[in-house]
């Protein structure tokens, strides 16, 4: 997650690293939030959630008609905001390509398959694939063990952060990389894991 204090700062941050969802405060200091929301929505690449302190429901209706995918009136519960961001993220990324190249490996998220450079399938468990898919979603950023555990348990209550380490170990063994190549999964001590190399859409 990244933050920006105004529209120019947000544009600069997004140019450096595109994002899937933007949470936009309607009362930004430069007063250009609504126009920026319309700009983002028209680009078709970024989901927009507007947060406003204006309690008039007509404000939210206007925002939803013209500028955003979702609108929340303050005060907003952090859990609700996080849930809405996750939901919008799923909708925004569903239509995109779900085939990726990780070094010498091709991963198809839709068909849930992994192939080596010669097209041979790698047999993985549901948990192993779910963990790898969540790391791919992270695009090289560190993903905490707790988040990975939630992904593996698919939102259930049977997730165990200790099982994440075991799944990572098995993936490293099954998807070994050649000498000199970046490691498939890198450990962030005390926090979680990230992919060791670039994620390419194919």
Per-residue pLDDT of 67-112, as tens digits, reads 788 888 888 999 999 998 988 887 766 655 688 999 999 999 888 8
Per-residue pLDDT of 169-183, as tens digits, reads 999 999 988 777 889
The pLDDT value given to residue 15: 79
Per-residue pLDDT of 1-30, as tens digits, reads 778 888 888 888 887 777 888 998 887 766
The pLDDT value given to residue 158: 44
* DSSP calls for 151-165: HHHTTSS---HHHHH
- Residue 172 CA: distances (Å) to CA of 54, 64, 113, 152, 165: 51, 45, 16, 17, 11
Contacts of residues 71-77 at CB distance under 8 Å and 24 or more positions apart, as own/partner, are: 76/51
Domain boundaries, the chain: 7-93, 99-201
Residue 33 has pLDDT above 90, yes or no: no
Is residue 109 within 8 Å of residue 99, measured between CB atoms? yes
β-pairing, 47-52 vs 70-73, is parallel
Is residue 115 within 8 Å of residue 103, measured between CB atoms? no
CATH fold of 99-201, please? Arc Repressor Mutant, subunit A (1.10.10)
Beta bridge mates, 195: 185
Class of domain 7-93: alpha beta
Rounded to whole angstroms, how far apart are CA atoms 39 and 57? 23
């Amino acid at each position: 997650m990244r933050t920006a204090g105004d529209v120019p700062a947000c544009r600069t941050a997004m140019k450096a690293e595109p994002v899937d969802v933007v949470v936009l405060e309607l009362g930004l200091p430069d007063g250009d939030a609504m126009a920026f929301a319309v700009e983002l929505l028209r680009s078709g690449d970024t989901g927009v959630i507007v947060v406003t302190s204006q309690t008039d429901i007509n404000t939210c209706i206007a925002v939803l008609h013209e500028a955003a995918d979702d609108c929340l009136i303050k005060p907003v519960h952090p859990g609700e905001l996080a849930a809405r961001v996750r939901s919008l993220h799923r909708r925004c990324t569903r239509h995109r390509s779900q085939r990726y190249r990780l070094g010498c490996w091709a991963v198809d998220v839709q068909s849930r398959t992994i192939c080596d450079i010669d097209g041979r399938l790698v047999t993985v468990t549901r948990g192993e694939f779910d963990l790898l898919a969540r790391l791919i979603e992270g695009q090289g950023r560190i993903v905490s063990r707790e988040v990975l555990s939630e992904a593996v348990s698919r939102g259930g209550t049977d997730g165990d952060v200790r099982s994440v380490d075991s799944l990572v170990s098995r993936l490293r063994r099954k998807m070994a990389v050649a000498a000199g190549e970046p490691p498939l999964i890198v450990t962030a001590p005390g926090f979680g894991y990230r992919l060791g190399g670039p994620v390419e859409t194919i």
